[in-house]
Structure 1
Amino acid sequence: MATTNNWQQFKVLIPEGVRNVATITANNGNGTSQAELRNGSVITVKGEGVSVGQKVFIQDGEIKGTAPNLARYEVEV
């Protein structure tokens, strides 16, 4: 009789690793880019396929694709 583990089924739905939104500030010419996170930190990420000034999704230190340029709001509760 086969049993199913609900936790393992749930974990499959959640992507692995940390995902961030950042703005590309420079393409380095060696397969990496400089990206500025929303908190102001600048990091180096893998990938150069996105133009400077565009927002991107970054996962595990690699550009995964472009992100929409949406307004950001902070609400204090």
Structure 2
Amino acid sequence: MATTNIWQQFKALIPEGVRVVATIAANNGNGTSQAELRDGSVITVKGETVNVGEKAFILDGEIKGTASSMAQYEVEV
């Protein structure tokens, strides 16, 4: 039976987990890769499916696929 709690219905619309787009700096050869975030920090993530120099979608520390290389803009309001 579907819940009638409106808060639970709202929470179901919001995706869970940490999602980022990062540039792959290196494939380590052991099933992990080094990914460079926008702020310049480097993290180790699971997966080697994206080539070095390409952008990747990372969900909870695991590569989920290749991201397009579109221009990024940061605006302060």
* TM-score of the pair, normalised by structure 1: 0.89
Counterparts of 1:34 and 1:3 in 2: how far apart (Å)?
42
Mapping 1:37-52, distance limit 5 Å: 37-52=37-52
Mapping 1:1-77, distance limit 5 Å: 4-77=4-77
Counterparts of 1:72 and 1:60 in 2: how far apart (Å)?
22
Please, which moves more after superposition, 64-73 or 45-54? 64-73
Q: What SS does the corresponding residue of 1:10 show, helix, strand or coil?
A: helix
Counterparts of 1:30 and 1:39 in 2: how far apart (Å)?
26
Identity %: 82
- Map Cα deviations across residues 44-64 of structure 1 (whole Å, 9 max, x no partner): 000001101110111111111
Q: 1:71: Cα distance to partner?
A: 0.4
Structure 2 unaligned blocks of 5 or more: none
Q: 1:74: Cα distance to partner?
A: 2.1
Q: CA RMSD in A?
A: 1.5
Q: 1:37: Cα distance to partner?
A: 0.3
Q: Which amino acid letter does the alignment assign opposite residue 74 of structure 1?
A: E
Q: Residues 76, 32 of structure 1: CA spacing in aligned structure 2 closer, same or farther, 3 A cutoff?
A: same
Structure 1 unaligned blocks of 5 or more: none
* TM-score of the pair, normalised by structure 2: 0.89
